[in-house]
């Protein structure tokens, strides 16, 4: 453990932020080239900042200053959050820095990765085979049932014709056959549903685990580029959709297909003439139904998209509640949300009417088929080509086919949804990060000094390749020294820390620890063992004084806080600070501006130089004075 990194950040309160308005010009400059509005709030906000910060400062403070400060406050809150979470939560950084992220509905769906699917399915293959066999058996039983019902009806018909027939002995055999078939059907149905449930749940659980394992290992840039919501969706609803569709396709799909084929064969065996009639009529009805169905699906998709649009308006407004409040945008937001919600309602209403018409027509068609079969079947019965039982079997088999076809048409939509949900899950389970988590060299503890060197490092974030954040950046951080980075916001301080942790790889140049390029080091060792990270807001140890005081481990036992500092002092320390007072005791202070070292030296040297560091100190003094005025004013106001 030779290197410790401190992020000594100050949490910007509203007052503090309002004080920052005094830096209007500098802030404006900073924003001019760095700030890229990403949503309507940010555009609005950006505009307001530009216009407001160009006003003369400190007019009518505090009343004016407070209002004025609020415009800035929103923007700086974003920056501040990013700063505080620069290392711990890079994805927030992304949001706050308004980087383009990948939306879920951007671009085409990925292809279904069969290899990954087989990988998660294989351990359950025997359960799956058993489930398929059971579902198939249910289908075969379902084909037999209409025939048996026919036999039963024939016995009843015989009895009504001839009262001398022994009804009970005649009906016993077909009745027992039918009852055993119903029993078998019930047992098999229970069996395949239970088996499929096991397969579905286990596969879904495996998919979730694989996906999470893969996501957590991705490069930080992956999290910069993808919204958390999108990733969570893949982990939850996509896996859920895939599981439901998978179960449905195996159970109902297999059953419906087998039943349709089996019942068509039965129909043909019962009456080829009636079957021919069906073959002509049914496909044309199915084609008509499919046409209306596809129109309804399009309508449903559009309605879903409209609901998503309304949700995203709400999401943006609620997620930016402070900005909304700061700009008194509530009525506008309500109006916008109402418009989108109304549009979604109209579309869903139309969809409902369409579904109603479709159902009505479908019922009409199906009843028409039954009537047609009765009419034609009655004629065949009159000509003794068909028995009453056969007509009964024919009707039941027709209904079974109709039910199966209806299920299959519903299944089609679910299968398409399931395949694309599965494709989205497997897209990320097979994704390999460019920077591995482990593997590479570890420096043994006895050879570890903690010399860090940035040599001509150039870097731009992969999500924003056009903006080079560090340009030929060079810095030596000698072993055991406390080196502090300071400078204007957005200068690149957090980026330097992120590169040292190897969250990203540099474009040009190199970063070395004891002369070993960090690309050759084991990343998990580097992050977990070599570099310690402390996110501390008020870290002001007088390093030199502490070193002297404890270097011979003084007579007094240090208290727990001091002990912590002592442990730290033996290491190379990189402090990233907003408050300059926290770093006055650092061995070396590097002022970072526009991705380069603008000034380097200790506090006194830099102060005497009257350069950027001196400017920063002055600026902070003004901020402190404003803060004081602000506090006094508030106290006076009670």
Ligand X SMILES: Nc1ncnc2c1ncn2[C@@H]1O[C@H](COP(=O)(O)OP(=O)(O)OP(=O)(O)O)[C@@H](O)[C@H]1O
In the block, which residue shows the tokens 């000034």? Answer: 599
Closer residue to ligand X, CB minimum distance, 417 or 579: 579
Provide the 3-class DSSP secondary structure of residue 584. coil
Q: Kindly state the smallest distance separating residue 300's Cβ from ligand X, in Å.
A: 37
CB of 489 to ligand X, least distance (A): 3
Nearer to ligand X, 23 or 489 (CB): 489
Torsion of CA 496, 500, 502, 507, to 10 degrees: 50
The DSSP-derived string for 367-397 is HHHHHHHHHHHHHHHHTTSS-HHHHHHHHHH
Toward ligand X, which CB reaches closer, 90 or 293?
90
Gap between the Cα atoms of 316 and 310, Å rounded? 10
The least distance separating ligand X from the CB of residue 595, rounded to whole angstroms, comes to 7
CB of 349 to ligand X, least distance (A): 43
Q: Which long-range contacts (CB under 8 A, 24 or more apart) does 413-420 make?
A: 413/297, 414/244, 414/245, 414/248, 414/249, 415/245, 415/248, 415/249, 415/253, 417/241, 417/245, 418/241, 418/242, 418/244, 418/245, 418/246, 418/248, 418/249, 419/112, 419/245, 420/109, 420/112
Vertex 351, ends 347 and 354: CA angle to 5°?
140
What is the closest distance, in whole angstroms, from the C-beta atom of residue 86 to ligand X in the complex? 6
Look up residue 14 and give its DSSP letter. H
Phi and psi at residue 184, to the nearest 5°: -60, -40
**Position of tokens 């649009």?**
309
Q: Which is nearer to ligand X, 224 or 427 (CB)?
A: 224
Q: Least distance to ligand X from the beta carbon of 464, Å?
A: 5
Report how far Cα 199 is from the mean position of its chain's Cα atoms: 25
Q: Which residues contact 26 (CB under 8 A, 6 or more apart)?
A: 488, 619
529 DSSP 8-state letter = I
Minimum CB separation of residue 457 from ligand X in Å reads 13
The pair of structure tokens assigned to 256 is 């419906």
Residue 226: CB minimum distance to ligand X, A: 12
Is 151 or 501 the residue whose CB approaches ligand X more closely? 501
Return the number of the residue (96 or 387) whose C-beta is nearest ligand X: 96
Dihedral in degrees, nearest 10, Cα atoms 150, 153, 157, 162: 100
* Residue 498 CB, nearest approach to ligand X (Å): 7
Percentages (nearest 5) of helix, strand, coil residues in the chain? 70, 10, 20
Kindly tell me which of 453 and 468 has the beta carbon lying closer to ligand X. 468
* Residue partners of 367: CB distance under 8 A and separation at least 6: none
Instruction: Give min distance, CB of 81 to ligand X, in A.
Output: 10
Beta carbon nearer to ligand X, 61 or 459: 459
Contacting residues toward ligand X, per CB under 6 A? 34, 79, 83, 86, 90, 93-94, 97, 99, 224, 461, 463-464, 469, 487, 489-495
Give least dist CB 318 to ligand X, A. Answer: 24
List 513's β-bridge partners, or say none.
452, 516
Lookup: tokens for 80: 């501040």
Given the complex with ligand X, which of 464 and 596 has the nearer CB atom?
A: 464
Give 88 or 357: the residue with its C-beta nearer to ligand X.
88
On the question of a cis peptide bond just before residue 4, with omega within 30 degrees of 0, the verdict is: no
Cα(563)–Cα(568) distance, rounded to whole angstroms? 9
Question: Which one, 26 or 464, has the nearer CB to ligand X?
Answer: 464
């Amino acid at each position: 453990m030779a290197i410790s990194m401190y992020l000594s950040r100050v949490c910007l309160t509203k007052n503090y932020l309002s004080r920052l308005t005094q830096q209007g010009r500098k802030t404006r400059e900073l924003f001019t080239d760095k700030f890229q509005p990403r949503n309507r709030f940010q555009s609005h906000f950006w505009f307001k900042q530009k216009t407001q910060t160009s006003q003369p400062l400190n007019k009518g403070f505090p009343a004016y200053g407070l209002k004025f400060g609020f415009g800035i406050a929103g923007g700086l809150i974003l920056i501040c959050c990013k700063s505080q979470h620069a290392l711990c939560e890079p994805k927030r950084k992304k949001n706050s820095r308004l980087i383009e992220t990948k939306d879920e509905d951007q671009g085409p769906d990925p292809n279904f990765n069969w290899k990954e699917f087989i990988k998660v399915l294989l351990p359950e293959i025997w359960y799956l085979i058993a489930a398929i066999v059971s579902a198939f058996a249910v289908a075969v039983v379902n084909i037999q049932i209409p025939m048996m019902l026919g036999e039963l009806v024939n016995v009843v018909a015989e009895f009504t014709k001839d009262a001398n027939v022994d009804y009970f002995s005649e009906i016993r055999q077909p009745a027992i056959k039918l009852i055993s078939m119903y029993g078998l059907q019930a047992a098999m149905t229970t069996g395949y549903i239970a088996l499929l449930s096991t397969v579905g749940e286990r596969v879904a659980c495996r998919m979730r685990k694989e996906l999470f394992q893969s996501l957590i290992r991705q490069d930080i840039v992956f999290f910069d580029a993808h919204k958390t919501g999108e990733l969570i969706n893949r982990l939850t609803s996509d896996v859920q959709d895939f599981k439901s569709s998978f179960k449905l396709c195996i159970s109902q799909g297999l059953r419906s297909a087998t039943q349709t084929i089996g019942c068509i064969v039965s129909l043909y065996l019962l009456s080829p003439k009636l079957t021919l009639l069906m073959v002509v009529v049914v496909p044309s009805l199915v084609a008509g139904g499919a046409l209306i169905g596809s129109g309804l699906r399009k309508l449903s998709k559009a309605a879903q998209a409209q609901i998503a649009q309304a949700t995203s308006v709400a999401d943006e407004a609620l997620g930016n509640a402070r900005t909304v409040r700061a700009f008194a945008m509530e009525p506008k937001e309500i109006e916008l949300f109402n418009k989108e919600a109304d549009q979604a309602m109209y579309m869903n209403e139309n969809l409902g009417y369409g579904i109603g018409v479709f159902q009505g027509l479908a019922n009409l068609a199906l009843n028409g088929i039954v009537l047609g079969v009765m009419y034609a079947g009655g004629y065949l019965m009159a000509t003794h080509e068909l028995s009453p039982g056969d007509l009964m079997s024919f009707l039941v088999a027709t209904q079974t086919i109709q039910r199966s076809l209806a299920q299959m048409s519903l299944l089609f939509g679910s299968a398409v949804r399931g395949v694309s949900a599965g494709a989205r899950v497997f897209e990320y389970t097979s994704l390999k990060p460019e920077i591995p988590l482990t593997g590479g060299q570890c420096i043994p503890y006895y050879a570890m000094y903690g010399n860090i060197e940035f040599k001509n490092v150039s870097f731009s974030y992969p999500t924003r390749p056009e903006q080079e954040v560090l340009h030929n950046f060079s810095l030596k951080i000698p072993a055991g020294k406390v080196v502090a980075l300071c400078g204007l916001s957005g200068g690149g301080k957090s980026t330097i820390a992120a590169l040292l942790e190897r969250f990203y790889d540099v474009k040009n140049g190199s970063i070395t620890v004891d002369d070993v390029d960090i690309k050759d080091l084991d990343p998990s060792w580097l992050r977990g063992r070599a570099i310690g990270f402390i996110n501390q807001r008020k870290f002001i140890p007088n390093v030199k004084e502490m070193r002297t005081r404890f270097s011979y481990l003084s007579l007094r036992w240090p208290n727990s806080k001091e002990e912590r500092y002592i442990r730290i002092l033996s290491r190379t320390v990189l402090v990233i600070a907003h408050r300059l007072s926290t770093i006055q005791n650092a061995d070396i202070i590097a002022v970072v501006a526009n991705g380069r070292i603008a000034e380097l030296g200790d506090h006194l040297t830099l102060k005497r130089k009257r350069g950027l560091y001196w400017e920063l100190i002055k600026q902070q003094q003004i901020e402190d004075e404003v803060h004081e005025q602000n506090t006094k004013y508030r106290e006076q106001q009670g």
